[in-house]
Structure 1
Amino acid sequence: MTAVVFGTLPFPNQGGDQIVSKAVSTAIAALFKRTGKIEAMVRAEPVAKLLQGSVDGFDFIGNGMLMYNGLRIDGMELYVEAVSIDFSAIFKGQVKLRQPTQATMRVVLTEEDLTTSFNTPFVVEKLQRLQYEGQALNFKKTEMLVNEDKSLTLRSQIQLGKTGETVNLDMTSEIEVLDRRKIQFVNVTYKGDEKAKNLGKSLIDHVNNLLDLDKFALDGTQLKVDRVRIRKKELIFYGIAKIDHFPQRKK
């Protein structure tokens, strides 16, 4: 019976799990401006349960992902728990959840991803909300380095608004997660003269206030990070994504 039903659908010679997998992959890819390889693998046993919208779960693996705000993700893995979907929406190119679910996640950011992200208009605009001694700040050539001792180095050339003076910042820190949702730079060491150190401390405080995952999560999702691992010029985040509804790209 299942073969007869799926054989009448507009995807000939494909099983129901393949149809849903393709739809999920396409829907996730649409959330990003550009992607490398993206693959979603739906698990349903028996496959006939898909007709009722019941899925045992699905695994998603993607790499080379560029978000519309300019942030880059080198790799992402999501392992979604059992979920109920609206099967009829699949043929409209949509993924609709009938109830919330959650997924374990692994997200990889390279040194290059971090540097690129810190130079996007999306992040620069937030950084420039900071003022120093009443002066606007103009950030240039911001660079993030992942060091062999598992510390991070943040460098930037900052031009002070009124005077045009350039202050070179060079700071090295460790990273930790606070309350499973805030990424924090801690145990920071500052290089340079007194002005560079004072401006660096103000910047770190400002950045720590910005790095709340709730501000960066996709629509309909809530992220919780349990562990951060640093290795081979990469930051790897492990945690949970709570999904109330399938994300849609914000216009």
Structure 2
Amino acid sequence: MLGGLTGFTNNTGTDWGERILNTVASKTIRHLFTQSESVEVAVRCYPSSKLLQGSIDSFKMNGSGLVIRREFRAQEVSFETDAVSIDFSGVMNGKILLKQPTQAVAQVTLSQADINQSFQAELVKKRLQNLETPELTELSGGQPVSFSEVNVQLLPNNQVQIFAQADLGEKGMVPVSMTATLAAERRRRVRFKDAKFQSEAVPESLRDISDTLTKVFAEILDNMVDLDRFNLDGVTLRINRLETQGKTLVFSGYAQIERVPNNP
């Protein structure tokens, strides 16, 4: 259903109400993102006179190059709502006000480059730096340990290959290497399951310590991605399915929309 959203346009007979709503909706959605390369919106309402009572059959959006919270980029985001009831007077004032909550099916596509860039975000780096668990400080001689230079390679069948560097302070840098399987849990978490240490990517003299560091790193990743940390005000996101497709990771799911959010 979402595959045909790109390039959709309104019929030439679309009346002024739909045109106004399209304009307001496009502006509102653009303002939800720090950056956007393109945002296309279309309203389906038949007969169009229903719009004056605030009744809409469906609402579609397709966006590309969208940056969320200044640091997280998505290659493409698409959604299509169920029937929507709005306050049309709000549209005339440049706002979209829902009379009741609605749901939308959604699809988000991340490129491999998007995923790797996300590890440069401050929110992510805070989870990977200056770690002081007993296991890590024993390896480092009592100093905090940080993971950096994370590189993710997407593989078929939801597999990923992940490389990183562990900074053990005075004991230097140690490479870590692992494979894992991506999976959705409880529709809100992305899990890195069945993590396996890849010894061939690590010098033999460092393999024992790298094996231990890789297990710790895998556990951190496995507890890192929770969609509730990325919800917009009034919108709850959930995952039904995720799939690696070439050098992209595609999430399919839905959004429960209580209200159209303000600018984040």
State TM-score, norm by structure 1.
0.87
Aligned equivalents of 1:198 and 1:30: distance in 2? 44
Equivalent position of 2:257 in the other structure: 243
Aligned equivalents of 1:19 and 1:164: distance in 2? 63
Equivalent position of 1:15 in the other structure: 16
Equivalent position of 2:219 in the other structure: 205
Equivalent position of 1:88 in the other structure: 89
Aligned equivalents of 2:128 and 2:63: distance in 1? 29
Aligned equivalents of 2:178 and 2:70: distance in 1? 26
Aligned equivalents of 2:111 and 2:151: distance in 1? 12
Runs of at least 5 residues in structure 1 that lack an aligned partner in the other structure: 1-12
Which deviates more, 18-27 or 136-145? 136-145
Aligned equivalents of 1:69 and 1:196: distance in 2? 33
Alpha-carbon spacing, 1:43–1:208, altered in 2? closer, same or farther (3 Å): same
Aligned equivalents of 2:95 and 2:127: distance in 1? 33
Instruction: Please state if 1:68 is matched with 2:48.
Output: no
AA at the equivalent of 2:151: E
Runs of at least 5 residues in structure 2 that lack an aligned partner in the other structure: 1-13
Alpha-carbon spacing, 1:22–1:196, altered in 2? closer, same or farther (3 Å): same
Mapping of residues 46-195 of structure 1, within 5 Å? 46-128=47-129, 130-131=131-132, 132-133=136-137, 135-148=143-156, 150-161=158-169, 163=170, 165-191=172-198, 192=202, 193-195=207-209
Which deviates more, 193-202 or 32-41? 193-202
**SS of the counterpart of 1:136?**
coil
Aligned equivalents of 2:130 and 2:240: distance in 1? 29
Aligned equivalents of 2:234 and 2:91: distance in 1? 18
State TM-score, norm by structure 2.
0.83
Alpha-carbon spacing, 1:62–1:185, altered in 2? closer, same or farther (3 Å): same
Aligned-pair distance for 1:164? 5.6
Aligned equivalents of 1:56 and 1:164: distance in 2? 63
Alpha-carbon spacing, 1:228–1:49, altered in 2? closer, same or farther (3 Å): same
Aligned-pair distance for 1:148? 4.2
Aligned-pair distance for 1:149? 5.5
Answer yes or no: is the 8 Å Cα contact 1:69–1:122 preserved in 2: no
Aligned equivalents of 1:53 and 1:183: distance in 2? 37
AA at the equivalent of 1:249: N
